[in-house]
Amino acid sequence: MRVENLERPVAEGIARAMNAGAGYCDARFFSEDGSETLVLYDGNLEANTASFESGLGVRVLYGGAWGFAATSRASDVSEAFEKALANAKTASMLVSIPLNMGVLPAVTGSYSSPVVQDPFDVPLSEKLAFLGGLDERLKADFVQRRVVFLYLQRMRNWFWNSDGSFIERNLLNCFADSMVMAQDGDGQMQRRSKSLLTPGTGTRGWEMVTNPDLWSGRAEGMKEELSQLLTAPELEYGRRSVILLPGQGHLQVHETIGHPLELDRILGYELSYAGGSFVTLDSFGRLRYGSDKLSVSAFGSVENSPGSFGYDDEGTPERDYLLIDKGILVNCLTSRAMISEANHTAGRQVFEHSGGASRSTAFYKAPIDRMTNVNVLPGNDGNLSDIIAGTEDGVLLDNPTSWSIGSNREHFHFGCEIAWEIKGGKITRVLKNPTYQGHTLEFYGRLSAVGDRSTWVVEQVPNCGKGEPNQVMEIGHGVPVMRFDDVITGEEK
């Protein structure tokens, strides 16, 4: 399948669907959806894989209901439109609230991820030499397991819809992780890891992967912390402050701000799988989500992030706006059909326009409401040292080992790799097996310190799962260091 040969059949397919009574139709063609995965495990290249997908996905709204069809065969393009329309007609047999995309002006545009050196153009031998070099630096007598992971994505796609929009995008993502592991004195496996992050600015090609400040320069620090974990006592059960470094804070934000603020979850479209949300349409402009130190944005005009992609998968330009303003919930992650349903259900205009958050992971998956970048804005409570100095009794936590969240995102339990105990404003020792749990609104209400810009980084998430058929999406979170008071930590014996 080639895009030059598709323009006409796609235009004809959209016209046929609209003439047949469709309310909206769009098509996405991926000439390339490629990935490469390299995993060194104890120095052995255990994964050396690549994949290539190409094809066309068609979405038709008919009678207020969605039909979707996809094909990777050039001969089936016309049939894909017929199938999507037929699927939509079947879906329209059972409709209580007809979905509506509204009519928007046509958008023509293009977006390319900022890249200096395309990692797919870097010879495999060079990539392996770089990863092998990092693996060497992870070695130490006491280190029992070493993992170095690289996952690259490159997507080239074209989008057409019945508004007359036409968008071309070239997206590129680099994800990387490294980890060291060893058994402690109790025979329990401990680990320290570091993922490739971005400063939010700059470019996201091979140059990002090889920048030691963003990932690979942490090898010595990881080993040192692992060695401390091997003789550390366990974090004991009790209430205390927790300070989340971005390595942990981003997942806290992802699970308990990002997901509950997806409008399809709020409206109940994820109940059969991922769950709902404690947020309701009445919450906007009213609900106190956290202390007044909490301000959260969507997209945030972050230039270097997997959650920055120019246009969403229904032709809406990505939009920078506040989700939470000084603790008050003001907006959420939205798509066109969801805002029209929300406004209809609420009987008033809750949302003005789509947040540009309708995303799909592949040509063969229909778009759903996703996170873009969900960012906590930097605060005024100084740098990490200042926040530690202002903490009487707490723990500083980094990197998740486990995460389990209530179905409406109302409560959560996290396990982390490492805790540093803080007493009287000073770090006193390392503690192992840290866990903490809480209830979302109470927890964010106890947000007592937010680090300044020096503590803020964009953590990359390559694997957010949602939807049926499930879609694994890439997302970013710009987060500073955050402190929460009076949190239950550890497990009761």
Partner 1 sequence: MLDETTRDAILKVRDEAAEKGIDALFTMHREKSHLMRIGNNSVSLNTSEDLTRLDVEVINGRREGSYTIMGDITGPDSVRKALAVAVEKASVSTPKDYDPISRMVEESAEEMLQYDEALEAMDPGEKAVVYREIIEKTGSHLNFSGSWSSGSTEVLLASTNNDNLAWRIGTDQQFTCVLKHPEKKWELASFQTGWQAGEVKAGNTIESFNWLLPIYQKPGFRVEPGEYTVLFGSQAVAEIIGMAIGTGMTGRGYEEGMNWTCGKKPGDSILSDRITVIDDPTDMNTFRFGFDMAGMTRNIFPIVENGRMMNLFYDLATAAKYGKKPTPHSGSASVVVSPGDGPECPMEAVKGMGRVLYIPALHYTHIPNRSKGIFTGSSRFSAVLLENGEMVSPIFSSRITDTFQNVLGNVAVLAPWCTSVNGSSTYDRRMPEAASVPGYMVSTGVKITDSAESF
Phi and psi torsions of 227, nearest 5°: -65, -35
CB of 76 to Zn ion, least distance (A): 33
Is residue 51 a contact residue for partner 1 (CB under 8 A)?
yes
Q: Which is nearer to partner 1, 51 or 301 (CB)?
A: 51
* CB under 8 A, 24+ apart: contacts of 426-432: 426/388, 426/389, 427/388, 427/396, 429/232, 429/233, 430/225, 430/228, 430/229, 430/232, 431/232, 431/233, 431/234, 431/235, 431/395, 432/184, 432/188, 432/190, 432/229, 432/232, 432/233, 432/234, 432/235
Amino acid symbol at 210? T
Q: Which is nearer to partner 1, 88 or 261 (CB)?
A: 88
CB of 93 to partner 1, least distance (A): 5
List 67, 247, 290, 300, residue binding partner 1 (CB under 8 A): 67
Counting residues that bind partner 1 (by CB under 8 A) gives 86
386 vs 303: CA distance, rounded Å? 29
Counting residues that bind Zn ion (by CB under 5 A) gives 1
Q: Which is nearer to Zn ion, 59 or 265 (CB)?
A: 265
Decide: helix, strand or coil at residue 427: strand
Is residue 151 a contact residue for partner 1 (CB under 8 A)?
no
- Partner interacting with residue 74 (select from partner 1, Zn ion, none; CB below 5-8 Å by kind): partner 1
Among 285, 273, 221, 296, CA closest to 479? 296
Q: Count the neighbouring beta carbons within 10 Å of the beta carbon of residue 382.
A: 18
Is residue 6 a contact residue for partner 1 (CB under 8 A)?
no
Q: Do 268 and 165 contact (CB within 8 A), yes or no?
A: no
97 vs 290: CA distance, rounded Å? 33
Is residue 156 a contact residue for partner 1 (CB under 8 A)?
no
Is residue 125 a contact residue for partner 1 (CB under 8 A)?
yes
368-369 and 189-195 strand pairing: unpaired
- Partner interacting with residue 1 (select from Zn ion, partner 1, none; CB below 5-8 Å by kind): partner 1
Q: Which is nearer to partner 1, 326 or 413 (CB)?
A: 413
Strands (E), 370-456: 374-376, 393-405, 411-423, 426-431, 435-439, 447-450
Is residue 91 a contact residue for partner 1 (CB under 8 A)?
yes
Amino acid symbol at 422? I
Write the interaction track for partner 1 spanning residues 398-437; mark x where CB under 8 A is met and - where it is not: ---xxxxxxxx-xx-x-x-----------------x-x-x
Is residue 114 a contact residue for partner 1 (CB under 8 A)?
no
List 15, 21, 72, 217, residue binding partner 1 (CB under 8 A): 72
- Partner interacting with residue 464 (select from partner 1, Zn ion, none; CB below 5-8 Å by kind): Zn ion
Is residue 274 a contact residue for Zn ion (CB under 5 A)?
no
- Partner interacting with residue 433 (select from partner 1, Zn ion, none; CB below 5-8 Å by kind): partner 1
Q: How many helices (H) and strands (E) does the chain have?
A: 10, 23
Query: 430 to 469, contacts with Zn ion by CB under 5 A?
Result: 464
Is residue 24 a contact residue for partner 1 (CB under 8 A)?
no
Please give the residue ranges that form the binding site for Zn ion (CB under 5 A).
464
